[in-house]
Amino acid sequence: MPTPIVAGNWKMNTTLAEAVALASEMCGALDAVGGVEKVVCPPFISLKAVKDVVDGTSIRMGAQNMHYEEKGAYTGEVSPGMLTGLCEYVILGHSERRQYFWETDEVINRKVRAALAAGLKPILCVGEGLEEREAGWAKSVVTAQLHGALNFVTSIDTLAVAYEPIWAIGTGVAATGEAAEEIMGIIRSTLAELYSEAAAREVPLLYGGSVTPDNVAEYASQPNVNGALVGGASLDAARFSDIARGMAAG
């Protein structure tokens, strides 16, 4: 069983000062939670300041996105090499990147490969929209996203996959533990087909979508859930720590 991961995606929230204050709060309760990898993913401009705050604790750093090229004329972008040393993890293929920034599976695939080449650990996000779920396409959408994102990827040793049904993100309408487990079992078996049973078993699978301290136990008890990707509740140190504790309790 992989060590569970609880990652907080701060999205486009927090000024530099707010990010430092939030990270300082996390150093108390969150640092003390054992048995789970705790990752915070602040906005790019706060990465260095937050890293300085959490250095020396058990809290790990992640970025929310990156470009796949190493350098060049890509105004406003951040390269993998700029993140190494600052972050261990990088969220890739978040549904907001797919939806608002038109990221395709091909672009996400380039990013996954670039992250791995740079020594960053990708948290690859997949998940279906509401219409796709209602049409009965959830499994095929997620499977196709996985195939697309992992094209030419030879090793998944440092990969984590987050299953985030789009209809559950930021809506308060979380998937049931059973519904999450159904798709996450398919993610696990797809990884096994693409790589091997042994490799697939070691990949942390995170559920994301309206996770709170109240519902985390429902996910933690599922056999194929090894963590959570948390948006809204990760902006509150006490709630995020409670989620990490709940996930660690399994």
Return the active site residues: 94, 164
The span of 39-47, 135-143, 146-154, 164-172 binding ligand PEP (CB under 6 A) equals 164-172
Residue 169 engages ligand PEP in binding (rule: CB under 6 A): yes
Residue 170 engages ligand PEP in binding (rule: CB under 6 A): yes
Taking the complex as a whole, the smallest distance from the CB of residue 144 to ligand PEP amounts, in Å, to 20
Can you read off the two tokens belonging to residue 174? 């979380």
- Selected from 211, 220, 237, 244, the binder of ligand PEP by CB under 6 A is 211
Taking the complex as a whole, the smallest distance from the CB of residue 196 to ligand PEP amounts, in Å, to 29
Residue 232: phi and psi, rounded to 5, are -45, -50
Distance CA 88, CA 68 (A): 16
Question: Which residue, 103 or 164, has its beta carbon nearer to ligand PEP?
Answer: 164
Residue 229 engages ligand PEP in binding (rule: CB under 6 A): yes
- Selected from 230, 237, 244, 248, the binder of ligand PEP by CB under 6 A is 230
Residue 62 engages ligand PEP in binding (rule: CB under 6 A): no
Strands (E), the chain: 5-9, 37-41, 59-63, 89-92, 121-126, 160-163, 205-208, 227-230
Question: Which residue, 145 or 195, has its beta carbon nearer to ligand PEP?
Answer: 145
* CA neighbours closer than 13 Å in the CB half-sphere of residue 146: 28
Residue 128 engages ligand PEP in binding (rule: CB under 6 A): no
**Coil, strand or helix at 104:** coil
Question: Which residue, 180 or 233, has its beta carbon nearer to ligand PEP?
Answer: 233
Burial class (CB in 10 A: 0-12, 13-18, 19+), 29: middle
Q: What is the dihedral of CA 45, 48, 54, 58, to 10 degrees?
A: 100
Taking the complex as a whole, the smallest distance from the CB of residue 172 to ligand PEP amounts, in Å, to 8
Residue 208 engages ligand PEP in binding (rule: CB under 6 A): yes
Distance CA 72, CA 70 (A): 7
Distance CA 110, CA 229 (A): 22
Residue 218 engages ligand PEP in binding (rule: CB under 6 A): no
Residues at the site binding ligand PEP, with contacts judged by CB under 6 A? 9, 164, 169-170, 208-211, 229-233
